[in-house]
Chains A and B, each alone.
Chain A
Amino acid sequence: MSFDLNLILDSLPKMLAGFGVTLQLLVVSGLLGLILAILLLLMRLSGKFYLDWVAQVYIYIFRGTPILVQIFIIYYGLPQFEAVRDSVFWSILREPTGCAILALTLNTGAYVSEILRGGVLGVDKGLLEAGSALGMSARQKFIYITTPLATRLALPAYSNDVISLLKSTALASTITITDMTGIARTIVADTYAPYEVFISLAIVYMIFTFGIQKLFGVFERYLGRYARREE
């Protein structure tokens, strides 16, 4: 058993060619997931029991099952139905990338909406009372008081979820997508050198994770610029 450096130098550029796919999966499903999460949050905060209930069941199901099962249900499962194959969504669901993005979006939306809810519930009641005393409407209070404060409270947990979303994108390789992990698995199947290939890829992911953490750190400091030394 030896550690082949040339193989790393040889395979690293090949794996990095899949960086664009990984980034695309992360950014597109991250943004769509955030929109879905806000929708679910508004449903839960609406005070209408039927909206709240639907959102709760949705979150329960998507947080209670493995993401891999969700990917398989969407990619392999949905084409079982003729109606799906005839529908307008078929152009998306036919492509593995479309399925992966859909699955990741639906999954991360459920997690992020709970994080956002934690942020909203963490907003100091006194500030909302102050808003009422100033004659703000419920909508104004939500936009000018709850939203900015909840964003700041939820950001650390949100950055953790973006990192787990990045790690979940690696599962796209199970439905034939050639992201970084997909390419690495092909190389390992050819060369049978799991150490060199998987460890160098793990380092790439770690650098990526580190970058995301730093980026959110900067954003967190920016949002917290008025709140320093106040706790």
Chain B
Amino acid sequence: MEVLTGWWDDYLWGAVIVAKVFAASLLLMVLFGLIGAAAKLSDNRVAQKIANGYTVIFRGTPEILVILLLYFGSAIVLTAIAQVFDPDIRFVDVPPFWAGTIAIALIVGSYATETFRGAFLGVKPGSIEAARALGMSPLQTFIYIRIPEMWRIALPPFGNHMLSLVKDTALISIIGLNETLFVAKQAITVTGKPFTMYIVVGIIYLGFSSLITLSVMGIEKFGNRTTVGAR
């Protein structure tokens, strides 16, 4: 335990970065998932094809490959663009935070696309007919009937997507994000205690996972408070 002295604050800042990546990628993931689901459920053939391509590509490629491609790839594109304006620029560095956040949001967003699509299809036709009978407009039906029914269906798989996001954060350390795994690497070069340092990382991630699992359980209970016995 003494070897950890002096490293606690580094781990704490690493954990803060994990939380930041999680928050940013969660927003993007929901956005990508909703756009993807909307495209798949739309009548537009082109939009359907694009959304299908999106889910096939990001569900079939290893996460690490997407992260590396986005990090190195966007650096090349941005350098090329920057050189148009100023030929003296040698290299534009892309912050690993954003390259990684967008990468994992795209990956998990492709899974969320399927979840949201399934959840929207799971809204009972009877509820929608009832809304129409009450004279609700399509927008009102969407806000008051579809969304409240849909998110309850989507919540359990959505909880798993959130767990994937937080665990994929560890992969971003490969492109140099100074989250907990990265902190551990530095601590090991100084202390020479790899097991201890990596176990701390494991415990931090386990803490994040537990927090998410508990929150999802709580929200699920809240969401189903009025439907007890209905299913």
**Given known A-B contacts A65-B202, A73-B199, A210 and B60 have beta carbons under 8 A apart:** yes
| C-alpha spacing A194/B66, complex, angstroms | 11
Task: Confirm or deny: A19 has a beta carbon within 8 angstroms of a beta carbon on chain B.
Answer: no
A76→B188 contact, CB < 8 A: yes
B62→A181 contact, CB < 8 A: yes
A170→B198 contact, CB < 8 A: no
Specify the chain A residue showing the minimal Cβ separation from B61: A202
B195→A195 contact, CB < 8 A: no
- Other-chain contact of A76, B68, B72, B198 (Cβ < 8 Å): B198
Residues in A with CB closer than 8 Å to B4 are none
Closest-CB distance, A81 to chain B (whole angstroms): 7
Residues in B with CB closer than 8 Å to A80 are 193-196
A64→B210 contact, CB < 8 A: yes
| C-alpha spacing A184/B57, complex, angstroms | 18
B199-231 to A contact mask, C-beta < 8 Å, 1/0: 101100110011001000000000000000000
| C-alpha spacing A125/B18, complex, angstroms | 44
| C-alpha spacing A1/B197, complex, angstroms | 41
A1→B193 contact, CB < 8 A: no
- Other-chain contact of A78, B69, B174, B195, B205 (Cβ < 8 Å): B195
14 contacting pairs across A/B (C-beta < 8 A): A61-B202, A64-B210, A69-B202, A72-B198, A76-B198, A167-B61, A168-B62, A170-B62, A170-B64, A184-B65, A188-B72, A194-B72, A195-B69, A195-B76
Top 7 A-B pairs, shortest CB-CB distance: A170-B62, A77-B195, A66-B170, A64-B209, A194-B72, A209-B60, A206-B60
Residues in B with CB closer than 8 Å to A209 are 59-60
B198→A171 contact, CB < 8 A: no
B156-172 to A contact mask, C-beta < 8 Å, 1/0: 00000001000111110
Chain A interface (Cβ < 8 Å from any Cβ of B): 1, 61, 63-70, 72-73, 76-81, 163, 166-171, 173-174, 181, 184-185, 188, 192, 194-195, 198-199, 201-202, 205-206, 209-210
Task: Confirm or deny: B119 has a beta carbon within 8 angstroms of a beta carbon on chain A.
Answer: no
Specify the chain B residue showing the minimal Cβ separation from A185: B68
A-B interface contact total, Cβ < 8 Å: 121
- Other-chain contact of B69, A61, A70, A202 (Cβ < 8 Å): A202
- Other-chain contact of B171, A68, A198, A201, A205 (Cβ < 8 Å): A68
Specify the chain A residue showing the minimal Cβ separation from B199: A73
Residues in B with CB closer than 8 Å to A69 are 170, 181, 198, 201-202, 205
B210→A66 contact, CB < 8 A: no
Task: Confirm or deny: B73 has a beta carbon within 8 angstroms of a beta carbon on chain A.
Answer: yes
B41-66 to A contact mask, C-beta < 8 Å, 1/0: 00000000000000011011111111
| C-alpha spacing A209/B65, complex, angstroms | 15
Specify the chain B residue showing the minimal Cβ separation from A61: B206
Residues in B with CB closer than 8 Å to A168 are 62
Given A61-B202, A77-B194, 9 new contacts (CB under 8 A): A61-B206, A66-B169, A68-B181, A80-B194, A174-B174, A195-B69, A201-B65, A202-B66, A205-B65
Residues in A with CB closer than 8 Å to B171 are 66, 68, 171
Residues in A with CB closer than 8 Å to B202 are 61, 65, 69-70, 73
